[in-house]
Chain A
């Protein structure tokens, strides 16, 4: 007994000394390297882990989730949602840290573990700076839920950046529609995710080498730019499916400045100006003031921690009025005056003629008429190959434009003497009032019209159902018809048929997303 006591007391003292040293378990290792593509913390943090049954039950608990389940199918796999941080490069070449999601399928089924394909997804424009697409516990993260249900729960490993400028990013701006930066960030998060994958809690799931690239709206542009960048880097891409993206950015910009104002343009404009000012320093330097003095500091407004509705309510940004309702008259240029004063040709979707498009003009307005005229003068002198008059091959302008914003559109337009080498699906909807199908998807299809058949597939989700995607086309159109009918019921607001049509069109761009995403999955499943 005494021996025990003698042994124990020193042991206690030793233990006390150890306690003073503070031994403890360790958390993830923080990388000392800031080289782009480096995983910042390894292993990554798992936000949530749900099995297939739980995920299905959680989705099914809401009306929108139930609709998503109907489209995506019941989850076959559980999903682990990891939050990854990684180093990348900003729009002006800054070394910066960014974040995103790594969604890993789990479960005993063969399709849920072992070697699995990767889907890399680029999200749509989001005004919420706090966006974290990995946070499946956030009920406002509908895009995260969409890709989890559509891809991860069906056995795909999903990698998706939040983008620099969002979440933990301290960059101070978002490199919006900056093709080089955003494609670089996609490649960086992919490298980081591949580093992280073997060290996750779901390490039974691994990369099988197949890589699919997709994204919606802004993310459609990012996805296509990423395909281009990966091809240039000799990386193997199995297939790609950019969706509803502003690929032919110069053509889209021209049609907007000529008067075809798209829905959401007042939200996109500050993001564009801030992004391009940082990358090219040619927005503020122009002698023509770009933004109306009614909206000071608008350039740095988005993304924001303040809800976009509050920003509109507080008058910090006009909700729809991009341009002055008084059409500018350009002295000495009847052609330009006419171009700015008539609806653009070829005509935008029939729905463009509805009153909601008139909302693009008003007073107060966001962009000064002088800037609009200067842009249009540049466009007239150095025309885009698709707007206003389609030229053979619909190329972007032959010469680098001189007006700042138009030059930036030209630089980030994806008609740059390249073509997909992997099977590519371009999905969208013909009536899209936000990212015009005719001036983006159809322009790219025309630009690549000489490619071998089958390499690029165009899918208009609104077209008469036919072919491999007929079921999805039919489902989308039935869904839109149901919405139109719903808005005319008492529960839907009792709108008139015209108002109901406007309500449907207002949501059209968002409504297309799940159907095109389902088409992308069906497309990828062939490989």
Chain B
């Protein structure tokens, strides 16, 4: 976890250092972007296994929206490095599978909430000259996701058999993005992008020492609409 923290800070530091050392005359080298992050999950998970779990008990995540923050550093002409961040959203994990576990409602029930921090670092290629008002871009990078505030709901605890401690392992996976930049002025621009990332985690629910596990792939796809300020 310490590595994670240092990693994020180091990235920000590197970006800042790069920005101040590679300034060029016709385009401010750095952007800060702010906008809306609409996340669509395409969850797939192994059935949960462990003591007293009937067959077919599974999980899925509910789509969500959150605040997008992006920090972008432009290299001369076409390349850019983007650190995409989102305000840690409260993701709702829902039960999927049998309508009931015993007689406890399960399918479709929100069984847990979890916040996560999911920074993604993209290396992007911007098409067309810097002066073009509309520039498409494509990028690829790496996503790192960690989860916290993992709190099961009353429905989740009921299905689990009591108060449950949930852990979700951190994920590192590839990410790709594509989008458009519309330059309004020298300093201001609008951006739209669509991204995909691989986010895989091992779910463990511990209820009084009884552990149930599953491997979950969230495969989030995100639509981002943002405004950016260059400096």
Contacts and interface: CB of A to CB of B under 8 A. Distances in A.
Interface of A: 1-2, 4-5, 8-9, 11-13, 15-20, 22-28, 41, 43-51, 54, 78, 83, 135, 137, 201
B17 interface: no
7 contacts: A5-B34, A11-B87, A15-B117, A18-B149, A20-B2, A25-B152, A50-B103
B146 interface: yes
Contacts of B9: 13
Contacts of B229: 2
A9 B165 contact: no
B185 to A, nearest CB: 15
Interface in B95-121: 100, 102-104, 115, 117
B107 to A, nearest CB: 15
Nearest to B3: A20
Interface of B: 1-2, 4-5, 8-9, 32, 34, 52, 54, 67, 69, 85, 87-88, 100, 102-104, 115, 117, 146-152, 157-158, 161-167, 206-210, 227, 229
B34 A137 contact: no
A49 B102 contact: yes
A54 B102 contact: yes
Given A15-B117, A51-B103, A26 B163 contact: yes
Nearest to A5: B34
A13 B209 CA distance: 33
A46 B161 contact: yes
B32 A5 contact: yes
Nearest to B54: A137
B207 A27 contact: yes
Nearest to B1: A20
Given A20-B4, A26-B163, A135-B52, A41 B157 contact: no
Given A1-B34, A5-B32, A8-B87, A22 B161 contact: no
Given A23-B148, A27-B208, A44 B4 contact: no
Given A27-B162, A45-B210, A8 B167 contact: no
Nearest to A51: B103
Contacts of A12: 69, 85, 87-88, 117
Nearest to A54: B103
Given A8-B87, A27-B208, A78-B103, A17 B5 contact: yes
Nearest to B87: A8
* Of B149, B158, B161, most A-chain CB atoms within 10 Å: B161
Contacts of A135: 52
B105 to A, nearest CB: 11
Given A5-B34, A54-B102, A24 B166 contact: yes
Nearest to B206: A27
B165 A26 contact: yes
A9 B5 CA distance: 14
B52 A28 contact: no
Contact of B208 (A17, A18, A45): A45
Given A5-B32, A15-B115, A27-B165, A47 B52 contact: yes
Contacts of B149: 18, 23-24
* Of A16, A18, A27, most B-chain CB atoms within 10 Å: A27
Contacts of A15: 88, 115, 117, 148
A206 B103 CA distance: 21
Contacts of A11: 87
Contact of A49 (B104, B146, B165, B227): B104
B167 A19 contact: no
Given A25-B163, A45-B210, 5 more contacts: A19-B1, A25-B151, A25-B164, A44-B208, A54-B100
Contacts of A45: 161-162, 207-210
A150 to B, nearest CB: 19
A28 B161 contact: no
Given A12-B88, A20-B2, A201 B151 contact: no
B4 A9 contact: no
A16 B32 CA distance: 20
A18 B148 contact: yes
A9 B151 contact: no
B208 to A, nearest CB: 4
The 9 A-B pairs at the shortest CB distance, nearest first, are namely A46-B161, A45-B208, A51-B103, A19-B148, A20-B1, A28-B208, A27-B165, A49-B102, A48-B102
Contact of A8 (B69, B102, B151, B164): B69
Given A12-B117, A18-B148, A25-B150, A201 B162 contact: yes
* Of B1, B5, B163, most A-chain CB atoms within 10 Å: B163
* Of B34, B52, B117, B167, most A-chain CB atoms within 10 Å: B52
A17 B117 CA distance: 11
B1 A201 contact: no
Contacts of B34: 1, 4-5
* Of B88, B157, B162, most A-chain CB atoms within 10 Å: B162
